[in-house]
Amino acid sequence: MFSSRESRESGAAAKNPIAFHAVTLATFFGASAAPTPLYRIYQENFAASPVIMTVVFAVYAFALLTALLIAGSISDHLGRKPVIFGALLLEVAAMALFVVADGPNWLIAARIVQGLATGIAGASIGAALVDVDRAKGQLVNSLAPLTGMAFGAIGTSAFIQYGPFPLHLVYGVLLLGFAAQAAAIWTTPETGGRRTGALASLKPRLTIPPQVKRPLALATPVNIANWALGGFYLSLVPSLVASTTGSRAPLTGGAVVAALMAAGSVSVFLRRARSPRANVTFGVSATTVGFLTVVAGTHLANVPVLIIGTLVTGMGFGTSFLGTVGSIMPLAKADERAGLLSAFYVQSYLAFSLPAILAGFLVKTLGYQLTTDIYAAAIIATGLTGLMASRARPERATTAAQES
């Protein structure tokens, strides 16, 4: 049975490499969200504190960032397929670590391996997609991670609620899926080439061109608020939902997380042609209204209000990302973009992980509700500060970004 499925995947991969790479990229990010609905169960089973669980979450971001900085361009030198294959093998190893995990240390090890695998895969699959079709590839690179995380959160929740072996089943399924993709990758065409300089490419390069320094500074508050929001949802929201609403059904917390990612994916698709300035304005506004609704939902212990607020927040989440990236990347020259993107992701993943760890400490002393109130106030204030700064940005810079 497995071999016939593998054969079908191989044939599909050869005929439609964009679809295969899109599914593979989405699967990596779906797997990255798979532990989110399990954090509350891990905390109870392993007698771990909220701080430990947010560390388990955060080490993934640090490992992913490390992989992006060190191996982000390695597929330019070794070829796309060998690097994607290596990332898939690493991900298989990560899933195996999750399956055998019997304590927080095992979870931390699994998340580190998973972060390295996802960082390598994200860069190399993203490059392969653009190699095949630049326009479609860029769109898939924006949509696949959010779509994958939505399916990862809701799928894991369903496995926990309705399937056997709640701590293991999803990882076993993912392990088989990644193994099949590792076999199928060799049937796809090689879209990259080989060239010298592989070792030199492992040296991290952070570059902020002079013409991008001010736009990046103006975009920074919105970017930090946006990634801190994502980190909060993926690390603490299922536990928050259980604590404030009394609903301990895994699908409830998973649905709230999935709603953020699904709405973000839809907003990226619908607003992809809008100007960066318009997207930042819409994104911060939607995030502010949505997150205030989420806070109200937690105080009212009302799950439908929570989900409605999250859908609005998700629209802001996806659109703010479009706006911040669009406000800086077109201003860089072709040979400056890789270094600028690395610098942007350093800022982003630090905002994704460090505030989540702080939230874990706050939960331990203040509880989930007050921590959410403080976190929401900080994110909304930071985002609105960035919005006011971006609206004061000189029109000539905005025009240059739109014309590039």
Lowest mean pLDDT among 101-110, 198-207, 348-357: 198-207
Are 1-191 and 207-404 the same fold in CATH?
yes
> In terms of C-beta density within 10 A (0-12 exposed, 13-18 middle, 19 or more buried), how is residue 403 classed?
exposed
What distance in Å separates the CA atoms of residue 122 and residue 120, rounded to the nearest whole number? 6
pLDDT of 192 strictly over 80 = no
Give the span between the Cα atoms of 113 and 101, in whole angstroms: 13
CA dihedral over 299, 305, 311, 315, signed as positive or negative? negative
Q: Is the pLDDT score of 7 beyond 80? A: no
- pLDDT at position 27 is 97
pLDDT confidence of residue 73 = 78
* Burial label, 246 (beta-carbon count in 10 A; 0-12, 13-18, 19+): exposed
CATH superfamily membership of 207-404: MFS general substrate transporter like domains (1.20.1250.20)
User: Confidence class of residue 92 from pLDDT cuts 50, 70 and 90?
Assistant: very high
The size of the chain, in residues, is 404
Residue 399: pLDDT above 70?
no
- What is the predicted pLDDT for the residue at 401? 43
- pLDDT score of 221: 96
- Write down the pLDDT at residue 391: 76
Which pLDDT score is estimated for 71?
81
pLDDT in tens, 139-177: 898 899 999 999 999 999 999 999 999 999 999 999 999
Res. 398 pLDDT band, cuts 50 70 90: very low
pLDDT, residue 203, reads 79
Q: d(Cα 286, Cα 323) in Å, to the nearest integer? A: 13
What is d(CA 312, CA 290) in angstroms, rounded to the nearest whole number? 5
pLDDT confidence of 12, banded at 50, 70, 90?
low
Share of the chain above pLDDT 90, in %: 70
Mean pLDDT rounded to a whole number for the chain: 89
- Give me the residue label for tokens 């649905």: 255
Q: For 1-191, CATH number?
A: 1.20.1250.20
The predicted structure's pLDDT at residue 134: 79
Q: Where are the domains of the chain?
A: 1-191, 207-404
User: What are the pLDDT digits (tens) for 200-245?
Assistant: 767 777 778 899 899 999 999 999 999 999 999 999 999 999 999 8
Q: Please classify residue 395 by burial: count the beta carbons closer than 10 Å to its beta carbon, then call 0-12 exposed, 13-18 middle and 19+ buried.
A: exposed
Residues 212 and 332: beta-carbon distance below 8 Å: yes
Q: What percent of the chain has pLDDT over 70?
A: 92
